[in-house]
Structure 1
């Protein structure tokens, strides 16, 4: 079992910094997903683990060994890429076993290991086919089997499902989780797809602009975003973020005369903040309800079991997950309410403002040991 440790890891291309000092530890046997938008440095960080990119500053340790100067083949990592990179003229059997052949493993032992790995990814019936005779999902399983057959200390996945359709992506997520459960190998998975990240990860490393915004379990990152960026990036639909300012009475003033109360407002008087609330935490309310927000419907997206209401609340955009029925034409006036413990507050620099509500959420979603 193998840990991966980042110590102030930086990457520059000439004078242009792309990774700005990452400090983190991936525990032995953990499945960690590095998540972020395109260009945030997540694939660069993964490639530095693999030895495919040089480290400009800092150290990466695999186990107790600093690997900065080690060749890729010396690091004990196996990588699955976005493009399958299979040898088109070789059968599935030969593709999977090629690295073992190069390493000089005797043929009987090599064939036995190839068969075992092929069975684990349901490829035993395809061993004599060429890659061109396989579907996209099957080719991706061949790429995974080729990595598995080496019995590495670390698995690295660089957006491996990007070329698959939506249904296959769901199937492959289940496949990867099952394999990780069975093998227990430390795994690092890079993606920009938050659904993929939330469903796969033991923990997330969320990156933005070459910096780590937050590290935590999916539920903790969702319920307790450390920054406005994380709040906006995690969740579909994204968190509602309403710009405004608290007055001396603790009332949050926003948009064109909109007002509402939020816990901690008195202590934040005069500060410009963003108030965040998840769309699913908002409820329809009667016109006379205490603290209700008045809003006007822009349009509705029907999703079957639920619908999304897009509304204007005194000039602030509001998205609400609604399970009601009946028509809601544009221009309909509605009132919404939410619980104080569901409110998130973010300062002008984008960091979360700690309140009693955020402390209560932290306690409710306190992390348990990884292997619990």
Structure 2
């Protein structure tokens, strides 16, 4: 499955190659109950065709009208919506919601291609555009960095697609795979049991051949990867966990009762995993919502994954805000 940013960029590049004028629109900042987070983006071409989202529908119609009437910025600039109560009601923005959008007239494929390349290679990238000019530069990015304005530049950060590796092609694994794809995760699955794999019916999943521990190593689990073991067979689940807990995966979980999880932690210690590594294991897996059926358990697992991801994003945003404040302070005192 493509990530939204990759689809937007691929279409924008295709439109440029076909001779269209293209604007890239990105949410910079939100106030109140705005429907999209900073970094959400869309591409709109000169005839009003559009891909992506910055508001869930209410602002998109306005951007289409601007594109068709050639009223989008000729180079780049900022647009704000929902500043007044009347405007919020006019555009359908939730009560109190406000949006600030950076709109860039994309002049060449070359100013987008490096971003698409970085996404396909699972690399972090910062794309910076000088406000009021066509100047674009690229640089390294920290995980979790959020789109922002700083000192006359708009910084947009691109990272790998979030992905979920599921160990176990059972009914719960199928539910997880279906729901995770709806949440725009790239889903990978490992189950060396041929008789189980033969019954798999969920499309869009990348099968990973091999034993679970080898697969975790082969995919090079990074900070955008969650790993969940659901076979309920320690011979398979524990193999995956041995490498997953040593990896950079932001979430590692395993199915099983509290008693079974304690036994599992003892087994993991026998393989020389330290307490800090073992403490990363979410088990019993998922938020405790009283789930019983495979579908309910899948909801609980994905809810916990989203919760952990959101907490990490909030921490990264706080760090970014502190770093920006310190940078501004150093400029003022120099």
Q: TM-score, normalised by structure 1?
A: 0.27
Higher strand proportion: 1
Larger radius of gyration: 1
Q: Which one has more relative contact order, counting CA pairs under 8 Å at least 6 apart?
A: 1
Q: TM-score, normalised by structure 2?
A: 0.29
Which protein has the bigger helix share?
2
